[in-house]
A and B are shown apart, each in its own frame.
Chain A
Amino acid sequence: MRVTMLSNRLKRWTLRFGAAAVALAGTAGLAMAQEPIKIGLLLPYSGPFADLAVQMDGGVQVYMKQFGDTIGGRKVEILKRDTTGIAPDTAKRLAQELIVRDKVDLLAGVVFTPNALAIAPLTVEAKKPFVIMNAATSIVTTKSPYIVRVSFTLPQVVSPLGTWAAKNGFKKVYSLVSDYGPGHDSEIFFKKSFTAAGGEIVGEVRVPPKNPEFTPYIQRIKDAKPDAVFVFLPAGEQTVSFYKGVTERGLVKDGIKILASGDLTEDGQIEATGDIALGTITSGHYSYAHKSPENEAFVKAFEAAFPKGPRPNFFAVGAYDGMGAIYGAIKAQNGQTDPDKMVEFMKNYKVMSPRGPLEIDPETRDAVNTIYIRKVEKHGGKLLNIEFDSVAKVKDPGK
């Protein structure tokens, strides 16, 4: 009798506890499903490079508007952090805090190479995928197995231009680049492909990276009488003052063509340079005027989101494609965020991007782009980079 009572009581207890345990497990499971996916987005939101953050943040926003802000039932939360510009110590600290304090699932963004390099070792230690949406120096992807780059590299962009120029009647070219890492890269890789195809570099000059005065350099180029000048300058205000110098010295009038990386006629800035840019030939992986349904949809969405804002340029596309890779990687795991599986997916990522076909090279985790040769033309009162030739599947020659 007593025994049965005891067993009854026991039964009741186990029932009660069991129910509670099940209920608890249930809510825990639910909480798991609803826990947001956290993405740390590191961009220069303030300071002289804030324009680039507007573009890239815009790319992220547009992607999330088009494809929703949930993946596999989990909400996507973007944690924005301001790197303030080229500031690797700040960038590294922010990344560290995002990992330790905010417990992000992955890191993304980053405009500048030094910032990316400072963050790279953390991603190895913490096992966090790190999606590079710009930072275009070759070495970046070699610094951590968790880095995947969806943007481009400068050698990748300028090498096809060198080959193209030599094959299209340019014999003598003068090179003018900005005196810092990316400038050196473009000088070297343009020269390499140009001379390999039979061209000759008749002069080289590196201009100071900050506030250069272009007129004397342009005069010197004019005196050397080359067929064309090859230019790399960082996208932004400098391109405008370069064209001012070109106008002043009548470089174009003398029949000297301008060849450049896409930065010189970058879509966000090109209207500010004016008609003098007409006829400039550039190479790049994205043009605002690229003709494809993907780009039309992208441009439409971007302009709807920023009716007064800038035209989307390659920075915006980099961020947009970065989000595409991230969404794909998490969707492939049904909302799970296992870091190694994410990287595994992104390594083999292929997509029809607004820029054209984009794929990631599984060996280097670097973007493989179609590089277009474009010419600045005026259509409907707008200065546009019109693509007229292309080289498919260009890998980064810098590695």
Chain B
Amino acid sequence: MFAFAKPALATPADRLIAAARWRWYETAFWLGTLLVLFAFPGYLQLASQIAIVGLFALSLDLLMGYAGIISLGHAAFFGFGAYVAGIIAKYGWGEPLSGMVIAGLSAGLLGLIVSPIITRLHGIALLMVTMGLCVLLFEAANRAVWLTGGDDGLQGVEIWPIFGTFTFDLLGRTAYLYALIVLFLMFLVARRIVHSPFGLSLQAMRDNPRRAPAIGTDMGERVRIVYTISAAMAGVAGALIAQTTQFVALEVLSFQRSAEIMIILILGGTGRLFGGLIGAAVFMIARDQLATSYPQYWYLGIGALLVAVVMFARGGVMGGFDRLVRWWRARAGAGR
């Protein structure tokens, strides 16, 4: 945080190491998430969904925030993961951890298969194609009634207790801890990627797609890798939602899911890792509170919130927060 006060860093490696240092506010954030268990025992169900949506947003952040690949169909991987996890559990293997891993790998594989198309596209064409992919999967799931249950949703998903001991309870304690731990591990992975030379080359690609190949970055390869990782992560998020609700509906593949996750990420702030998590928390808590008080009109409140964030806090909640800190520092500096 006080990096600017230090002497200029000599090599890129030094800079990467400095950026990757664990900050106090990160520790505070993750300790805070544990506090939820005791402070809001009635809200654990919501908290676990926030963690899951946060993970989904994190996967999109890798893609959109760091690599600059816009996707309006990221629910394809989320939904794919959800169905894989659900179907495995339905047909007799309800062990959650292995189910989640299989779902993540399958979604990653799907991402890998699609990624060659993604490398060729930019801008609006990319939006259309990613969206189209999601619509295709949606229709496929709708048709394959024998496998997915179609419009009625996938029933009979039975998840065994985690490690054979922790059952998914009515309060949602197990669900929350499970989702939170997976989110934390995935966050570590994302953090490692972002602060690696690979991550740096992604950002170079995002910031200047013409110059990046000129200095020797193989863009195609990098897009394929990050797309696959992001897809796998979204698949894990999908698996979590399937396992914690023990039900999968077509809605996991809907366009609305894709759009909403984009809104959440933008609300929180792109390219910041925490953006998606904060965005998910703000969006879902606001929605929960507003929808409880005004079941008919809560969209109005959400709309106002979005407009306010976009107008007054560019770069999302995190961006606004950053500027607030900078302003505070400048003032403190001037006062001295």
Contacts and interface: CB of A to CB of B under 8 A. Distances in A.
B139 to A, nearest CB: 8
Interface of A is mostly: helix
A85 to B, nearest CB: 8
A81 B249 contact: no
B259 interface: no
A181 B151 contact: yes
B305 interface: no
Scoring B145, B241, B247 by chain A CB atoms within 10 A of each residue's CB, the highest score goes to B247
B153 A96 contact: no
Scoring B46, B142, B145, B153 by chain A CB atoms within 10 A of each residue's CB, the highest score goes to B153
A80 to B, nearest CB: 5
A180 B295 contact: no
A126 B172 CA distance: 13
14 contacts: A43-B295, A84-B291, A88-B245, A88-B247, A88-B249, A92-B247, A96-B45, A97-B45, A101-B43, A114-B251, A117-B153, A117-B155, A181-B151, A184-B150
B42 A118 contact: no
Interface string A85-96: 111110011001
A137 interface: yes
B296 interface: yes
B151 A89 contact: no
Given A45-B295, A114-B151, A118-B153, A86 B46 contact: no
Nearest to A119: B247
Given A93-B46, A96-B172, A86 B296 contact: no
Scoring A84, A99, A137 by chain B CB atoms within 10 A of each residue's CB, the highest score goes to A84
Given A80-B295, A81-B292, A181-B150, A93 B45 contact: yes
Interface string B137-169: 000001001000011110100000000000000
B46 A209 contact: no
A184 B171 CA distance: 37
A33 interface: no
Interface in B233-281: 241, 245-247, 249-251
B249 A118 contact: yes
Q: For the complex of A and B, list the 5 residue pairs with the smallest distance between their C-beta atoms, beginning with the closest.
A: A101-B42, A180-B151, A45-B295, A114-B153, A181-B151
Given A93-B245, A114-B153, A121-B246, 4 more contacts: A45-B296, A88-B247, A118-B245, A179-B142
B240 to A, nearest CB: 11
Contact of A89 (B245, B291, B295): B245
B292 A89 contact: no
A125 B170 contact: yes
Contact of A82 (B49, B241, B291): B291
A364 to B, nearest CB: 18
B30 interface: no
A163 B247 CA distance: 37
A83 to B, nearest CB: 9
Interface string A39-55: 00001011100100100
A308 B142 CA distance: 38
Contact of B170 (A43, A46, A113, A126): A126
Interface of B is mostly: helix
Nearest to A180: B151
B153 A100 contact: no
A181 B249 CA distance: 12
Contacts of B170: 96, 99-100, 122, 125-126
A10 interface: no
B295 A46 contact: yes
A50 B295 CA distance: 10
Contacts of A143: 155
Nearest to B244: A89
Nearest to A96: B45
Interface in A128-178: 137, 139, 143
A93 B49 contact: yes
B198 interface: no
Contacts of B291: 45-46, 81-82, 84
B29 interface: no
Contacts of A50: 296
Contacts of B152: 113-114, 117, 137, 139, 181
Nearest to A45: B295
Contacts of B184: none
A82 B295 contact: yes
A135 to B, nearest CB: 10
Contacts of A46: 291, 295-299
Contact of B251 (A87, A92, A117, A121): A87
Interface string A261-303: 0000000000000000000000000000000000000000000
B150 A86 contact: no
B245 A180 contact: no
A179 B42 CA distance: 39
Contacts of B241: 89
Nearest to A118: B247
A81 to B, nearest CB: 7
A179 B241 CA distance: 26
A180 B150 contact: yes
A139 B151 CA distance: 13
Interface in B23-75: 42-43, 45-46, 49
Contacts of A179: 142
Scoring A43, A114, A118, A137 by chain B CB atoms within 10 A of each residue's CB, the highest score goes to A114
B296 A92 contact: no
Given A46-B296, A50-B296, A117-B155, A97 B245 contact: no
Nearest to B241: A89
Contacts of B245: 88-89, 92-93, 118
Interface in A198-245: 209
B142 A89 contact: no
A181 B150 CA distance: 7
Scoring A53, A100, A139, A143 by chain B CB atoms within 10 A of each residue's CB, the highest score goes to A100
Contacts of A209: 142, 151
Scoring A45, A85, A99, A125 by chain B CB atoms within 10 A of each residue's CB, the highest score goes to A45
B42 A88 contact: no
Contacts of A121: 246
Contacts of B42: 97, 100-101
A114 B172 contact: no
Nearest to B297: A46
Contacts of B45: 93, 96-97, 100
A50 B299 CA distance: 12
A182 B152 CA distance: 9
Contact of A86 (B49, B155, B250): B250
